[in-house]
Chain A
Amino acid sequence: MKTDLTDTTASKINKALVLGRRAIGTPAVGMVLTLVIVTDEENAYDALKTASDAAHEHPSRTLVVIKRVSRSPRDRTKSRLDAEVRLGADAGTGETIVLRLYGDVVDHAQSVVLPLLLPDAPVVVWWPVNAPLDPAGDPLGALAQRRVTDTYACEEPVRELAARADAYTPGDTDLSWTRITPWRSMLAAALDQVDCKVQAVEVEGEEYNPSCELLAMWLADRLDVPVKRTASNGPGLTAVRMDTDCGPVVLDRADGSLANLSIQGQPARGVALKRRETAELIAEELRRLDPDDTYASALRYGVDRLNAPDASDKGGADGGAVAVPAPVETAAKAPAKDAAQEKTPVKKAAAK
């Protein structure tokens, strides 16, 4: 069921929601969160489609805030709010309200959104494009527990990552970070299988893909070793090579779906590591609504502390081109890791 409201207000929209629910006979039950999508007209369709796919996992009220461009001074002085209320079969598993903002009200979108939030349920704001540099400081972002940005979609991802690090507030998250969860989980699983100390890491992936930087920063942050970021032709991330004291551990994905994990002394194995759709990313993002400290820590490591991408490495990177280890730095290790080292001989025997 779909109701169009022209030149309306939030209270009229609320009234239309109640009427609509009565008409189709389903009460507002089971919705777990309000998802606010802030976008322009150009990206609204894709974003809404993604959100309704993700809503199969997370029944939610979706508010799509579309800020329209005013082309003349006269338009700018007038303000208008149009709404499209979708319920029942038209809205998938929840309720969808598309809000189109014209003129002055564009700068006061929070006044429209606030009365439409579900009572007592968490609020997530997602900017598919043009995210503010300080999401928590944004009037809409301030309403939310969780603010989702996507540096992948911007002009200069690497610089934006640095800006995100400066403005980080608990609750911020980025889809470029969400994209690498399968990689992180596979790399962690790979290190579960050996008991070795990592000495250096190389992360290889396409240029202008902030996921590579984030993965590199996470590895650098957790492992406390030099990490080198190199460029390839993609798609996406293509390889991570970890140089350990018991040989290289390489996770290599050339085609964007099936990766190859090779560990020194163990047979090479294929692992499924498919690039995921945005709907899956949003669904993952909505699963946990508490601040992601691991992301914060990786982000704050700082892009500038990684090696700058080296164009000359392109192409010939597949062989044994492991990042040059810096022996001086690896000497300084946390005492906890030394304790773990004592078990090494037993574990190695088991691995064989």
Chain B
Amino acid sequence: MSSSNPLRDPADRRLPRIAGPSGLVIFGVTGDLSRKKLMPAVYDLANRGLLPPGFSLVGFARRDWEHEDFAQVVHDAVKEHSRTPFREEVWQQLSQGMRFVQGTFDDDEAFERLRGTIDELDKAQGTGGNFAFYLSVPPKSFPVVIQQLKKHQLADQSSGSWRRAVIEKPFGHDLKSAEELNAIVHEVFAPDQVFRIDHYLGKETVQNILALRFANTMFEPIWNRSYVDHIQITMAEDIGIGGRAGYYDGIGAARDVIQNHLLQLLALTAMEEPASFDADALAAEKTKVLGAVRLPKDLGRDTVHAQYAAGWQGGAKAVGYLEEDGIDPKSKTDTYAAIKVGIDNRRWAGVPFYLRTGKRLGRRVTEIAVVFQRAPHSPFDSTATEELGSNAIVVRVQPDEGVTVRFGSKVPGTSMEIRDVSMDFAYGESFTESSPEAYERLILDVLLGDANLFPRTEEVELSWKILDPIEQYWDEHGTPAKYPAGTWGPVEADHMLERDGRSWRRP
């Protein structure tokens, strides 16, 4: 459409990408994610002028609300959680297009009302039949909602309009269930209509991995087995499972985090340069590298799963996983997982990738550390370099987004002594625009139909192929190790790296 618009010009870079006429329907609108992330993100987009005039937001939930009650809930959520300041005129623009549909997921009448609401919005707000359905619902409700959308012709795209489905993790709990889920979704929505949200991919720092690697000359030449010793990817949380016992028990850290976030980070870190920055080229490279991931021969030696035990976390007493409310005291679910994988290709053969994630660890941090080999020869004697570690490039995904480069430098003084120093780039310091929230970017991309940052079916299935044998091994062998809450994981994980002559970074 924009190609024929004489006011659009690629050289005119002040004009932002504005989504075309459209609306967003949120199922499970009363949930936490919806209030804390989705509603504020929609407001922030509107505030930045990135939503089309007449943009509509439809909530669908069981709660007995009128449109005004819904608008009030959104209003409160926006005031509390939005990133940009609250402005009355933006709110007025947004609130004109807010609707609420009351009903349960198996209620045919409610879906008929939803269809009526969409038709009404097309007339009143000019949304042009373009709607995205955001399924912020528990996994078990998935099939029902998808089927209802089909039954009431809500998924039909007619005469130039589009319908899209946005789904959140978990994308199944193993390969088989993921395939079943994909079959259910794709029976109703074509692959290019489905957007799987992995909010990590919406983060500026994650997109910056690609910029860092492929827009610069100084990193890529050493980004291979000749220089890299190993890579550590960490995602640590300081919180416990909180109120999510029902969801978490039986799933565990590996399925919850490694399967999606960490393997996506691994793919971006290890993939070859894509032919272009479009969705197909990116997916092709990511799929290729995920397909080349090789598991260690001895899973007992090179993987660790563990549960947090009672301990002190940042000055507060924390109970152990098995004592949490709603958890079976005999549960074998992992709250910490560390695995070692290799990548079978010319660039990475022999370079181990260590992935770890856990709850109730030291602090909340996500980072990718590329640790380099030691210099092959040192003209300095060993006392001079005693305190020198390995060079490293660390991408800090969150918090305190940025990149750190660690290298050795001479300590001022008469003797030759070399010590690690770090050079730091922080987003907050050098960047011009405060970084948008991941959900803002992803929701906008859904409305624009830009699928760059969304994992595809093949990627999800490949990730399960990597994780399934590990989960199976854990099921059959031994019980989870223990680590006190508030520490950096079990000693078994430290031993796992020690056997390779390496150690975990303290992030």
Contacts and interface: CB of A to CB of B under 8 A. Distances in A.
Contacts of A192: 1-2, 5, 8, 18, 20, 52
Interface stretch (A14-22, A135-143, A159-167, A262-270): A262-270
A288 B13 contact: yes
B457 interface: no
A272 B46 contact: yes
Contacts of A284: 14
A32 B7 contact: no
Interface string B11-49: 111111010110000000000000000000000001101
A286 B433 CA distance: 10
Interface in A26-63: 29-32, 56-59
A118 to B, nearest CB: 12
Contact of A350 (B6, B128, B431): B128
B4 A340 contact: yes
Given A185-B49, A192-B2, A269-B125, A58 B432 contact: yes
Given A261-B53, A269-B54, A271-B93, A294 B12 contact: yes
A193 B54 CA distance: 11
A258 B161 contact: no
Contacts of A191: 5-8
A181 interface: yes
Interface stretch (B240-248, B371-379, B422-430, B477-485): B422-430
B501 interface: no
A305 interface: no
B434 A57 contact: yes
B90 A351 contact: no
Contact of A340 (B3, B53, B431): B3
Nearest to B426: A30
Given A187-B7, A192-B1, A349 B160 contact: yes
Given A31-B430, A191-B5, A198-B6, A293 B21 contact: no
A184 interface: yes
Contacts of B424: 29
A254 interface: no
A26 to B, nearest CB: 10
Contacts of A189: 18, 52-53
A287 B433 contact: yes
Interface in A333-352: 337, 340, 343, 346-347, 349-351
B453 to A, nearest CB: 22
Nearest to A190: B53
Nearest to A343: B4
Interface centre among A93, A181, A219, A266 (most CB of B within 10 A): A266
Interface in A308-352: 337, 340, 343, 346-347, 349-351
B70 to A, nearest CB: 19
Given A294-B14, A337-B4, A257 B89 contact: yes
Interface centre among B12, B15, B124, B129 (most CB of A within 10 A): B12
Contacts of A274: 87, 89
B45 to A, nearest CB: 12
B409 interface: no
B54 A267 contact: yes
Contacts of A257: 89
B4 A288 contact: no
A301 to B, nearest CB: 14
Contact of B49 (A32, A182, A294, A343): A182
Nearest to A341: B4
Nearest to B11: A293
A287 B16 contact: no
A204 interface: no
B100 to A, nearest CB: 20
B414 interface: no
A302 B5 CA distance: 23
B1 A337 contact: no
B449 to A, nearest CB: 13
A266 B126 contact: yes
Contacts of B429: 29-30, 59, 93
Given A181-B15, A272-B93, A222 B7 contact: yes
Nearest to B94: A272
Interface string B88-106: 0110110010000000000
Contacts of B90: 272
Given A185-B18, A350-B129, A271 B13 contact: no
A34 to B, nearest CB: 14
A187 to B, nearest CB: 6
B159 interface: yes
Given A188-B15, A267-B125, A350 B7 contact: no
Nearest to B5: A191
Contact of B430 (A30, A186, A350): A30
Interface in A292-311: 292-294
A190 B21 CA distance: 10
A193 B52 contact: yes
Contacts of B12: 184, 293-294
B160 A346 contact: yes
A113 interface: no
A301 B174 CA distance: 62
A223 interface: yes
Contacts of A93: 429
B410 interface: no
A24 B16 CA distance: 39
A243 interface: no
Interface in A177-208: 178, 181-182, 184-193, 195, 198
Nearest to B158: A350
Contact of A272 (B5, B49, B52, B425): B49
Nearest to B19: A189
B20 A193 contact: yes
Contacts of B426: 29-30
Contacts of B161: 350
A29 B53 CA distance: 41
Interface string B65-100: 000000000000000000000010110110010000
B6 A267 contact: no
Contacts of B92: 258, 270, 272
B54 A272 contact: no
A257 B258 CA distance: 47
Contacts of A182: 49
Interface centre among B14, B21, B53, B126 (most CB of A within 10 A): B53
Given A288-B13, A337-B4, A32 B432 contact: yes
Interface in A155-179: 178
10 contacts: A30-B429, A30-B430, A56-B434, A192-B1, A192-B5, A192-B52, A267-B124, A287-B432, A290-B13, A350-B128
Interface of A: 29-32, 56-59, 93, 178, 181-182, 184-193, 195, 198, 219, 222-224, 257-258, 261, 263, 266-267, 269-274, 283-284, 286-288, 290, 292-294, 337, 340, 343, 346-347, 349-351
Given A270-B53, A272-B87, 7 more contacts: A56-B434, A57-B432, A261-B53, A266-B126, A267-B126, A270-B92, A347-B160
List 5 tightest A-B contacts by C-beta distance, closest first.
A30-B429, A340-B4, A350-B160, A188-B7, A294-B12
